[in-house]
Amino acid sequence: MNNKIIGIILIIAGVALAIWGYNIYDAATSQVTRALSGETPIEAWVGMVGGVICVLVGLTRVK
């Protein structure tokens, strides 16, 4: 039962983290930075990739 609770929490946190990362990626300052230098802020990558990893780990715990 504890694994299911941990899994659900990881899924919720992962979705929130991915949304946060995408918001940073889609922000106006990030768009200007990408247009000028071609670089994406590291916070955006950490949020999106970390969120996906949390969701995947959470799904394995729920099963």
pLDDT for 1 equals 76
Query: Given CA atoms 44, 29, 34, 42 in this order, what sign does their dihedral have?
Result: negative
Q: Any residues with CB less than 8 A from the CB of 43 and at least 6 apart, and which?
A: 21, 24
The residues, any chain, with a CB within 8 Å of residue 35's CB and separated by 6 or more, are: none
For residue range 17-37, what is the model confidence (pLDDT) as tens digits? 999 999 999 999 888 988 999
Q: Which pLDDT belongs to residue 33? A: 87
* DSSP code, position 40: P
Q: Report pTM.
A: 0.84
d(CA 37, CA 61): 40
Q: Identify the pLDDT of residue 55.
A: 97
